[in-house]
Amino acid sequence: MSNYNAVVYSLISTESIITNELANDPKGGKAIYPIRIPQKVSYPAVRFRKSIEPIHLKGGDAQRTFKVEFEIAVVAEDPDKCDEIQQLIYDRLDGRTHENVAGHYVNNLVFQGQDPEIYSDDPDLFLITSRYTCTIHKL
């Protein structure tokens, strides 16, 4: 299987209108992380995770095309900043199709919904998660 983390990361990190709103990662780059956000980072930050299912097609490409569901969580100290960044992500991702992203063909990227907002008082942060689906074919 391919590195679909690189695909999801690239979808977010190549959009300067999104990355301009995010904190810098202490190790370099922007605060965009797979699975979990490390401790002691600045906010706002983005966390993504994914699930993958094969799409069974006739012919030789049967093992190369997958349905990928992923969620993107924005974490910030201000709920309005969470909303703003989630809207930027939605504006840039929803409806994208027929694109080469990180050596993969991404097709039919569709917004599936947003989960209820979450507030944590330790640390004092807000979180908003949105869900997307697409098909990805290894080139």
pLDDT at 138: 82
- State the pLDDT at residue 60: 60
pLDDT in the model for residue 61: 55
Instruction: State the 10-residue block means of pLDDT for the chain, 139 residues long.
Output: 85 95 93 94 96 79 81 96 97 95 94 94 92 92
CA distance 45 to 61: 36
Domains assigned to the chain? 4-138 (3.30.2000.10)
- The angle, 0 to 180 degrees and rounded to 10, between the axes of the packed helices 4-13 and 79-93 is 110
Rounded Cα–Cα distance for residues 89 and 12 (Å)? 7
